[in-house]
Every structure is written in C-alpha cells, then in structure tokens.
Chain A
Amino acid sequence: MVDMAELSAMHGSQASAQRMKKRRSAELRLQIYGILAITLAGAALVALLWSVVFKAAGALTETYVTLPVTLSAQELDPDGTGDPAVIGRADYGGFVKDLLKETFPSVTDRKARREMYDVVSAGAGFELRSKLQDDPSLIGEQIDYPFLASDVTDLYLKGSFGRLLPQPHSGNLSVIPSEDGKTAQILTSSNDFAAALSKVKLELIDQARGLRRQAAMQDAGVREFERRAANATSDEVRTENANQAISRATERDRLIALAEELEGRAASAGGTEQLTRTAPTVLVRVDQGWVKLTEINATGGVGRVVLPIEQTDALPADDWKMYLTDLPENARKISDNQIVLIEDLMARGAVETVFNTRFFSAGDSREPELAGLWGAIVGSFWTMLVTFLLAFPIGVGAAIYLEEFAPKNKLTDFIEVNINNLAAVPSIVFGLLGLAVFLGFFGVPRSSPLAGGIVLALMTLPTIIIASRAAIRAVPPSIRDAALGIGASRLQTSFHHVLPLAMPGILTGTIIGMAQALGETAPLIMIGMVAFIVDIPTGVTDSATVLPVQVFRWSDFPERAFEARTAAAICVLLVFLVIMNALAVFLRKRFERRW
C-alpha cells in the first residue's frame, strides 16, 4: 500500500525540480523549432515572390521604334480602292523591310540585313496592316509610325544582354577607311586602347588555362600508356602502347607550347590581338558612324565599318567615343550589328519604351513581343464558369442529401469514404477520365473550356462536398428541431434554415476548390488545352488555354523574353488566387451568423 502522504512529500524534491527543468526546456525547444519553421517558410515565400515579381517586371514594358514612313499608295493600294480587303493583301513584311533598308542604306550584306530585320518585330507589319485597314485614308500620307521592336531589341534595352560600357579616352582619333569602305584603320594619339587590350588579354589567360587542362589530360594518357607498355607481355603490345604514349606526349607538348605562347602574349604589354567572337566587342563611334574592331593594339587597330564613318584626322577626344561590351558576342543573343543599329536608333530618338498593354489584351503568339495573356485569362474564365456551374449545385446538393436526408447505412458510409478518397486522387487521373469519357465517348470538343470545366468540376467536387458537409454539420441541431417543431418539412428545414446558415462555409469551400481548379495544369494537358491557341475564346466550345497551362507552355519556350512573360503570367495567376481567397475570407466574415 502506497502512503499518499509520502507521495505528496515528493512534490518540490530535487528530482521533481529536475523534471520541471527538463519539461521547461522541452517546451522552449518546441517553441524554437516552431519559430524556426515559420521563419524558414516565410523566407522561402519572400524569396519566391521577390524572384517572380523581379523577373516579371521585364514584361511590363514594351519597346517601339518610331520611323517616318511614306505609305505609298502604289505599293499598298495600287488601284486606290480604299477597300480593306485589297489593302490587306499588300506585302507588309516586305514593306517594313524596305523601310529598314532605306533607314540604313549602308547595311548591304545578306547576314547584316537579316540581323537588321530582326530589330523590328515580325508582327510590326501586321499591325500596320490593321491600322491601314481601319483607316484607309492614311494611304499616301507620310506619318511617324511606331513599329513594335523585336524581343531581342527589347531585351537589349532592358539590359539582359549586358551593356555598352563607355571607355575613358584622351587621345585624338584618326580614322582611315579602306578603299571599299568596308574596313577602317583606327589610330589614337595616346594609348587609349591599352585598357581594352588588357581585357582582351584576360581572355587569353582563360584560353591558356583551358589548354593546360587538356595538356594535363594528355599527360595522364602518356603515363597510363607507359605503364601498360612496361607491363606488356608481348613485344607487339609493348610497341603499340609505347607509340600511343609518344603521340600523346607530342600532343601534350603542342598544347603546352600553345598555352605558353598565349600566356606570353597576355603577360607582355602591347602587341596586337585578333578580336574573335569569344572576346569582348570593342566599338568606336564618331557621330553616326560605327566601327567594330577586329584587331586591336594599344593605340588602335583595324575594324569593320558597321555604319559609315567619314575619314577623319586628329579628331579631339570629346568628339569620338569608345565602347566595350561586357559580354562577348557568342555569349548573347544579339549581334554587334544589331547593338549598333539600336544605339543609332536611340541616338535618333526613335526608340520608345511604354507600358505593355498588349500583354494584358493580346492572345498567345510564338513571338514573345506579340504574346499576351488575355486569351488565357478569358479561357480560364470560361473554364471556371463551367466548373462552378457544374460543381457548385452538384456538390451542395450531394452534401445536403448526404447530411440531411440519406440514411446512415453501409452504402452511404461507402460513398462517404469514396468521396474522401476522390479528394486525394492525382489530378491527372481526372484528365485521363476526361479524355476517355468526355472527349472519347461523349465527343465534347477538344481543348475547349467545356471539356476543361467538366474535368475540373470532377476534381473540385470532393472539396466542395466535404466543405459543404462540414458546414451543414456545424449548423446546430436545435435550429433543425425548431423548424421541424413548427411543422416545416425536411426540405423546408434544409433550404430555409440549414443552408443559409451553412452558406458561408459552403462558399468558402467552393472558392477554395475553385482556386485549386484555377491553378490546375495536369488534367488540362490530357484534354488538349496545351494547344497553341492565338484567338481569344468567345464561348465554352472554342479552343482555349488557361492561365497555369499558359505558364507551363511559356516556360518551355526557348526565347529569352518568354522568361519575363512567364513570371508575369505567374503573377497574374497569383493575383487571381489571392483575390479568390480574399473573397472567401470576406464572405465568411460578412455572412457569419451567431446563434
């Protein structure tokens, strides 16, 4: 028998103090873990949002190149009909190219011309066409028309391909163009190009390092074959391995000699270096004329004329400029020619950056500068509409039936378990179901919001049913008793009393389910909503895509400009999700009733 008085004496003993200490430190540890976890999650969220928003900022502006253009009637509407159909048939792509050729008459060779055409978007001609179709009276006029810049131009202006770094210089410049005007000799009176030269030489050290690495590999080969030769059992094998070792040693020595030569060039001041595609670009500018150096020494070099330059002698330092790019040409999507043309257009004041309304009003496009999100937003709207119209009434109806009317037996238990299981089914399975049943059997149009909406409704149903049942169950039974007690039928009780009280919870669950559906990609891929669709859908049977699928598609495109658009699309999606969740919170607070 335990003596309770003895037990009570144990309170406050040393052991109990020890236990207390342990308990307190365990509690403290738990708190610290909790705070750490929350901090970590918060930091991850902030980092995610910051990176997405930061990337998305690039999609918020677009660039136009405004050029004076003569809308020659002869070219665009030879018969002067003023008929939009006739005007539409003209070759606007060629028209824009001709305009660029006129703007830069000195650009003549094929490759340079192709690069020049790339400064302006491929869609610029189509825009001009629709403008003229809307207003045929412009034909024959001369106007300043803003041509949409290409993604490359836009990205260059946003600094994605590095910057042109003006270099300090003090000497007087002499330019001696060659006879055909394609190259030019550059000379300054002081060592203005020494800094650029040493930058180019850094490149040499890099190359030498690479060569030495290769040499080391060859050296390893030499030793391996020498070992094999030493261990060889037959003369034949020994000779073969020895020969291998010798050829590798030769190669090693050649590489080392090359590396040493490069290192020697890098170490010595002065000298002349070739500028390859892997070296930073050195540009010299005199007014409208640009020369790209192909050969550099401390006081100048030889260059290719990009835009024509007058012969000059002893041009003072303030009248010429020297630039260095921070990325070599092969490390960026934009060529040196294009940089020069864009810089020239900027100097003319023809380049203008404006807010990108197109992104929020246009449909999808292969050209990043033409691509917009509106098609996906409208597609999402139609899809969500179908989802809501199907999932809400069916879900709430099922919840009311199961909670208020259904007998509690094995069958309803089975149904309940399966509804809960359905909520955990991977969403792509619903896509497969939609593909097999709705597209395959019922012939719902592929890629349509109708098909997507049905599939997402299936996916959302369990969420809505579970949330609605919880909300209905939370209505106190006394309300049901009260209604039944004065002679309301079960239907009247459910619809007049239970449902209005459960509605905030039901709506919250529905909106959460809809938000989940809005962000869903996988099932829609199965039913063909990943297709490339340019047109804005006008109904539930048109082909369409939705926001998350658009994000998925854009993230897959190789063009760099889609990176910013992907991030911007994610932001738009997030904004919609936040709005929906805020709406859920608002509805809950607004219609919450106490009893």
Chain B
Amino acid sequence: MTNMRMTDQDLSTRDTKIEARDVHVFYGDNEAINGVDVDILDKTVTAFIGPSGCGKSTFLRCLNRMNDTIPICRVTGDIKIDGGDIYDKSIDPVQLRAKVGMVFQKPNPFPKSIYDNIAYGPRIHGLVASKSDLDDVVEASLRKASIWEEVKDRLDAPGTGLSGGQQQRLCIARAIATAPEVLLMDEPCSALDPIATAKIEELIDDLRQDFSVVIVTHSMQQAARVSQKTAFFHLGDLVEYGETQKIFTNPEDKRTQDYITGRFG
C-alpha cells in the first residue's frame, strides 16, 4: 500500500516551497551543518533521516529560525521560502514561525484548556475577528488533526490531561491553527506507542493535501511509509536527497546504502 501511494505521486508537478543553498550552522566554533543545498517541494512530505547528531534536527530548526533562540548558534547561507529569504533583516522570526509551524519531539501542550491551546496562536496573530470565528478555527484545526471526535465534549479540560498520542495530535492541531504553509515535525512519534504512531502517520499523510510537511525521523520505516522525498544526513552533510522510493531501493551513495540496511546508525 505504501508503495502504491508512492508510485501514484507525480512529484515533477510540485512547486518548490523551500530553497536552501549552502547552509552552514555553527554552534560556537563547532560546525554542525557544513553546506546543505536542498529544495523542498510544496504539498509533499519530505523526510530527513540519518544517525543521531548528523544535523537533521538542526537543519529543520533553521527553516523556522528556532535556532535564533540559542545564543551561540550562527547560520549562514540562503534559505528561501517562496523565493523570500527568511534570514533577511526585514523578516521577523515571529511572523515566520506563524507561517512555518513546528511540532516537537515530546508532546508539549500548554497547561491550559484544549480550546485555549488551539486558540492561542490565532489570538496572538489576530487571525480571527470574533469569538465564533475563533470557535470555527479551533474546530477546523482539531478536525484536521483528527482529534475533534475525541475532545469535542471536553474542550475546557486541560490539554495536559490527554494521552501522549492525543497530546501530540493536539500539538499538531495547535500548529495548524495559525494557518501555516509549512509544517516542521521533529521526530513527532518518538515518544509514542505504535498505535498512536500509526494515527499520527495517517494524519501526516492527510496533511500533505494542504501543507508542505518536513519530518525528521529515526525510523526508516516511518520515512518510507509517510514521505515522498527523503534526505539522508550524515555528519553535517546532506549525503543524498531524492524520491523516497529511490533512496530506499537504489541509493547512490554507499553511506546511504549502509545506513538504510542497518550497517550503522
């Protein structure tokens, strides 16, 4: 089934959403990413795989400038979304993050009600004018994150009271609620059990309809299941980037081959 889904993709018709050229990231004097060029397509799930410490999460965090919050971190090179340089001085990272949503490794709902968790983004960005509009946004976001049926009766309950898988879907709904164009996911299933993982994966596949999704994962099966394009990182280098099917069946680089066959990592 996974393979079917991949084969019926025609990736050539997709536009490029994110264009990264010669991206270097330094933590102090330590270079974590040494020159990455990558084009991420719109309405596509792109998976970043690679062994721990290879820089895939670091690169992901460059895409919405979350690295700015780390004082010693320095980013060089160009990253463009829809042709606009996100590291340009005129770009406010706060605005950027509303456009490029992020889901983290560990579910981190605010210790507030489910409703407030979702409504917080639209509120601070002034996306909605009225309470009823806000209600609509909350419902739509929860529906899109396929958690609406589970929580619709207890929107006032604290978000922290949900199960791990529900919390992660709540976090996805929260990220969706600010109407982003790109959704970054940093190992979103690593803290979840297989059933919750399956639900999230299904959800990611649905999200592809509306967003460009970039997912970092340690699970190669997951990358194979949900993504159309895969990038393999190793020691700060982007070793190989291409269609998922090709990476997993016929990798060009020896390191990719070794990694996906489980010889290291």
Q: Which A residues have a C-beta under 8 Å from some C-beta of B?
A: 407-408, 476, 478-489, 492, 496-497, 501, 593-595
Chain B residue contacts of A497, Cβ below 8 A: 110
A481 to B104, CA, bound (A): 8
Q: When the two chains form their complex, are residues B104 and A478 in contact, meaning their CB atoms are under 8 A apart?
A: yes
Q: How far is the CB of A69 from chain B (nearest CB, A)?
A: 70
A541 to B221, CA, bound (A): 74
Known: A485-B175, A488-B94. A595 touches B111 (CB 8 A): yes
Q: When the two chains form their complex, are residues B108 and A487 in contact, meaning their CB atoms are under 8 A apart?
A: no
Q: Is B64's CB within 8 Å of the partner chain A? A: yes
Chain B residue contacts of A408, Cβ below 8 A: 71
Chain B residue contacts of A481, Cβ below 8 A: 66, 102, 104, 108
Partner pick for B124 among A407, A479, A492, A593, CB 8 A cutoff: A492
Chain A residue contacts of B64, Cβ below 8 A: 485
Q: How far is the CB of B128 from chain A (nearest CB, A)?
A: 14
Q: With contacts A481-B108, A486-B97 known, what are 8 further pairs, Cβ within 8 A?
A: A408-B71, A479-B111, A481-B104, A482-B104, A485-B66, A485-B102, A594-B160, A595-B108
Q: When the two chains form their complex, are residues A487 and B125 in contact, meaning their CB atoms are under 8 A apart?
A: yes
Q: When the two chains form their complex, are residues B97 and A478 in contact, meaning their CB atoms are under 8 A apart?
A: no
Interface string of B110-125 (1 = CB under 8 A from A): 1100000000110011
Q: When the two chains form their complex, are residues B95 and A593 in contact, meaning their CB atoms are under 8 A apart?
A: no
Q: When the two chains form their complex, are residues B108 and A478 in contact, meaning their CB atoms are under 8 A apart?
A: yes
Chain B residue contacts of A485, Cβ below 8 A: 64, 66, 97, 101-104, 175
Q: When the two chains form their complex, are residues B160 and A482 in contact, meaning their CB atoms are under 8 A apart?
A: no
Most buried by B among A485, A489, A492: A485
Q: How far is the CB of B62 from chain A (nearest CB, A)?
A: 14
20 contacts across the A-B interface (CB closer than 8 A): A408-B71, A478-B104, A479-B108, A481-B104, A482-B104, A482-B109, A483-B110, A485-B102, A485-B104, A486-B101, A486-B120, A486-B121, A486-B175, A486-B177, A487-B94, A487-B95, A487-B97, A489-B94, A595-B108, A595-B160
Chain A residue contacts of B121, Cβ below 8 A: 486-488
Q: When the two chains form their complex, are residues B66 and A479 in contact, meaning their CB atoms are under 8 A apart?
A: no
A89 to B95, CA, bound (A): 78
A232 to B18, CA, bound (A): 118
The bracket for how many chain B residues form the interface is 20 to 34
Q: How far is the CB of A400 from chain B (nearest CB, A)?
A: 16
Known: A482-B171, A594-B160. A487 touches B110 (CB 8 A): no
Instruction: Count contacts between A and B, CB distance < 8 Å.
Output: 70
Main secondary structure of the interface of B (DSSP, over half): helix
Partner pick for A484 among B69, B174, B177, CB 8 A cutoff: B69
Partner pick for B110 among A407, A479, A489, A492, CB 8 A cutoff: A479
Interface string of B124-156 (1 = CB under 8 A from A): 110000000000000000000000000000000
A489 to B102, CA, bound (A): 15
A592 to B98, CA, bound (A): 30
Q: Is B255's CB within 8 Å of the partner chain A? A: no
Q: When the two chains form their complex, are residues B94 and A482 in contact, meaning their CB atoms are under 8 A apart?
A: no
Q: Is B178's CB within 8 Å of the partner chain A? A: yes
A492 to B95, CA, bound (A): 13
Q: Is B17's CB within 8 Å of the partner chain A? A: no
A311 to B94, CA, bound (A): 107
Q: When the two chains form their complex, are residues A478 and B71 in contact, meaning their CB atoms are under 8 A apart?
A: no
Closest to B92 in A: A489
A483 to B66, CA, bound (A): 11
A479 to B109, CA, bound (A): 7
Q: Is B106's CB within 8 Å of the partner chain A? A: yes
Q: When the two chains form their complex, are residues B66 and A484 in contact, meaning their CB atoms are under 8 A apart?
A: yes
Chain A residue contacts of B125, Cβ below 8 A: 487
A51 to B160, CA, bound (A): 51
Closest to B104 in A: A481
Q: How far is the CB of A504 from chain B (nearest CB, A)?
A: 12
Chain A residue contacts of B101, Cβ below 8 A: 485-486
Closest to B171 in A: A482
Going nearest first, the 10 A-B pairs with the smallest beta carbon separation are A487-B98, A478-B108, A485-B102, A487-B97, A486-B121, A482-B108, A593-B111, A595-B111, A489-B94, A595-B160
A482 to B98, CA, bound (A): 12
A486 to B104, CA, bound (A): 11
Q: How far is the CB of B77 from chain A (nearest CB, A)?
A: 22
A219 to B129, CA, bound (A): 108
Q: When the two chains form their complex, are residues B171 and A501 in contact, meaning their CB atoms are under 8 A apart?
A: no
A497 to B97, CA, bound (A): 17
A123 to B99, CA, bound (A): 78
A593 to B161, CA, bound (A): 12
Closest to B68 in A: A484
A258 to B96, CA, bound (A): 108
Q: When the two chains form their complex, are residues B95 and A482 in contact, meaning their CB atoms are under 8 A apart?
A: no
A378 to B218, CA, bound (A): 65
Q: When the two chains form their complex, are residues B178 and A487 in contact, meaning their CB atoms are under 8 A apart?
A: yes
Q: When the two chains form their complex, are residues A488 and B124 in contact, meaning their CB atoms are under 8 A apart?
A: yes
Known: A407-B71, A487-B125, A594-B160. A482 touches B110 (CB 8 A): yes
Closest to A491 in B: B94
Chain A residue contacts of B98, Cβ below 8 A: 486-487
Known: A407-B71, A482-B110, A593-B111. A487 touches B124 (CB 8 A): yes
Chain B residue contacts of A478, Cβ below 8 A: 104, 106, 108
Interface string of B161-193 (1 = CB under 8 A from A): 000000000010011011000000000000000
A485 to B96, CA, bound (A): 10
Chain B residue contacts of A593, Cβ below 8 A: 111
Closest to A408 in B: B71
Most buried by B among A479, A497, A595: A595
Partner pick for B120 among A480, A489, A496, A595, CB 8 A cutoff: A496
Q: How far is the CB of B76 from chain A (nearest CB, A)?
A: 20
A496 to B120, CA, bound (A): 10
A484 to B64, CA, bound (A): 10
Q: When the two chains form their complex, are residues B97 and A484 in contact, meaning their CB atoms are under 8 A apart?
A: yes
Q: How far is the CB of A57 from chain B (nearest CB, A)?
A: 49
Chain A residue contacts of B120, Cβ below 8 A: 483, 486, 488, 496
Q: How far is the CB of B245 from chain A (nearest CB, A)?
A: 31
Chain B residue contacts of A484, Cβ below 8 A: 66, 69, 97
